[in-house]
Amino acid sequence: PHGLQQATPIAISGTVLIGIVLFFTLEKLIIWRHCHDAKCEVHGAAGPLILIGDAFHNFVDGFVIAAAFLTSIPLGIAASLAVIAHEIPQEVGDFAILLDNGYPKTRALLLNTLSPMATLPGAIIAYYFLGATQEAVPFILALSAASFIYIAVADLVPVLHRQTGITSTFRQLGLMLAGIGTIALFKFVH
């Protein structure tokens, strides 16, 4: 919504769609390097690839958070909470991949703790870059929205559909409504 106030709806919607296609393509490129043979070359390189990819991802997260805060404090808080919510399970998964690739627990934990530090340089660069070019902010926010939409559609919804019990369905609906309520609360307070 904030992006739509600063640019045309067609430009923002187009940026979201381009972002979704971009994230789909990037994920496909990563999957193409995946193999199921434990001795293939890709498995040996998985640890460094995960760390580099995670550092880049965290750098972009910093960019997204800064863009959101430059737009409004409530939007910045909402973006920060969304990033934290998706980072925790991702970092746990990255830690497991590092362990699976033979990293000792201490080294895997240390390396996995260092990659999120790329968030700060991303935020600082974004703050100065986007502060000077305010017209780019809506498009950065649109790409951010695209990343969260893509994660939800590609990763989260299929997992949620596997849980078919009535209790888990109501829990899922409750959490979705709580998320919507949180965003609505930020909008109301703002």
- Where exactly are the structural domains of the chain? 2-148
Residue 78 · residue 186 · CB < 8 Å: yes
What pTM, to 2 d.p., does this model score?
Answer: 0.61
How do residues 99-145 score in pLDDT, each as one tens digit? Answer: 888 889 999 999 988 888 999 999 999 888 887 787 877 888 888 78
Residue 60 · residue 117 · CB < 8 Å: no
How do residues 17-47 score in pLDDT, each as one tens digit? Answer: 998 898 888 777 765 544 445 455 544 556 7
- Decide if pLDDT at 152 tops 80: no
- State the Cα–Cα distance between residues 83 and 48, nearest whole angstrom: 23
Listed in sequence order, the DSSP H helices in the chain are 2-6, 9-32, 41-71, 73-100, 105-114, 119-132, 137-151, 157-162, 166-189
Residue 108 · residue 50 · CB < 8 Å: no
| Residue whose structure tokens are 């187009």 | 14
